[in-house]
Structure 1
């Protein structure tokens, strides 16, 4: 899709279909975290499973947490860290917030909504920024080759708090 891809630093040695994930990832993390943010914030953001950057501007296009083995709230906390950091950085540049997605099995939809409804995520308005994508929808669209032919596929298969998953 023409993006620079960051894969979580702790996943660089993992393999998918005999390919090391780190070889698919940018070697350097391009996000500039403000000096007044704790170094730990940048380390937490680097644990987000996949971040897509626009090649020409290194602007974040989207962030994805794949929640098959970890808890949904940990992914939402990383997204909250990213959002807070970007809001501080972007105030100077008047750039848009990036959309964040939690990728999960359909069976975890209610748990996603429960976690996103927590007061901290409401206060930080993460519920407006973060949507879910069902793993099953990603797999079916991949089989249909929709990823290359439809640049809006992510928006079409994602859903937010209180929304039904799209039926395609």
Structure 2
């Protein structure tokens, strides 16, 4: 990062403050240029994750077997951007005329010694891990149009996108999160040296179909048991077997007594069951390898309303159960969930959802669905 990196006081508050903000209506977006003289180092610690056994990592990072890690160097403005970072915030990486990768902020820490070990640069001390890393190909003009930047704009340093620019983006999208996902899903590309195969393309399509299928079953199960059902606002118009997911569901999520910020957190939860205006259960369906954002939504919600009891489910394939449970028991999430023992975060398999649906179709509603 063109000496855009940067020793270790730990921003523990920064790690957990993430859970007091709205992950799906976030107003933060970071841009990190990677200078040509830093590209090789970027590939070594971000493009390819590093193993905890390969380098002496601070204890705050040792739980992760492999991590992607980057940062920025000293400077008053950079420091202010860095300290505002919160877990789950989107970040776009720029080099050689294009945004070439995206990800989300994980843990943040200040550690000059780690910067020296990783990149031979003690100045590169403002360090952050990257989750949900993904290669993309987006031109500055495309992002510049969304942010209402002038013609010819390109990032010139590590930055947090301004509130004014975010407001411009929100004229086209419902949230920064939605725009971020759109950039990733529509523009994502495989490495030029490794073009995506037809098998990989088919796999991506299968993931989307499975996600919609499981959402549909959860909608049907909720309605068949007399619950009002809300579907994520960006999924309402998806169809399964010719039927719109949002058919017969709540058009808006109205939760009396909850702030707009709290409501905004869960508007993007895949499926919610309600009894009147009381939430009974929330489901996040994860058909890909990333389950981070779903858990964040759940933990954000219970942190904002710690006295509210709700059953929360991460729904994934049985074959992914070990990976999902590992994420659910991360110290970061356990620390957040421990004080709210009256709520639960549980794993639920696709197979269980299908089985329950078939049982209800043949035998009628169950006394307890899950």
TM-score bin, normalised by smaller chain = 0.7 to 0.9
Stretches of 4+ aligned residues off by more than 6 angstroms:
none
Structure 2 unmatched runs, 5+: 1-224
2:343 counterpart of 1:131: no
- The equivalent residue for 1:54 is 275
Structure 2 CA distance for aligned equivalents of residues 105 and 54 of structure 1: 28
Q: Which moved more, 1:67-76 or 1:96-105?
A: 67-76
Match of 2:296 among 60, 73, 77: 77
- The equivalent residue for 1:42 is 263
Structure 2 CA distance for aligned equivalents of residues 43 and 112 of structure 1: 25
Structure 1 CA distance for aligned equivalents of residues 227 and 244 of structure 2: 19
Q: Describe the shift of the 1:70–1:81 C-alpha distance in structure 2 as closer, same or farther (beyond 3 A).
A: farther
Structure 2 CA distance for aligned equivalents of residues 71 and 25 of structure 1: 27
Match of 2:368 among 152, 160, 163: 152
Q: Describe the shift of the 1:86–1:24 C-alpha distance in structure 2 as closer, same or farther (beyond 3 A).
A: farther
Q: Deviations over 1:41-64 (max 9, x none)?
A: 533311100111102xx1100100
Q: Deviations over 1:75-105 (max 9, x none)?
A: 1001112212222xx4xxxxx5101011110
Structure 1 unmatched runs, 5+: 91-95, 155-168
Q: 2:325·2:347 contact (CA, 8 Å) conserved in 1?
A: no
TM-superposed CA distance for 1:138, in Å, is 1.5
TM-score between both structures, scaled by the size of structure 1 = 0.74
Q: 1:34·1:85 contact (CA, 8 Å) conserved in 2?
A: no
Alignment of 1:1-168 (within 5 A): 1-32=225-256, 33-34=258-259, 39=261, 41-55=262-276, 58-69=277-288, 71-87=290-306, 90=307, 96-125=308-337, 129-145=344-360, 148-154=364-370
Aligned length: 141
SS at match of 1:68: coil
- The equivalent residue for 1:163 is none
TM-score between both structures, scaled by the size of structure 2 = 0.35
Across the aligned residues of Structure 1 and Structure 2, the Cα RMSD in angstroms comes to 2.2
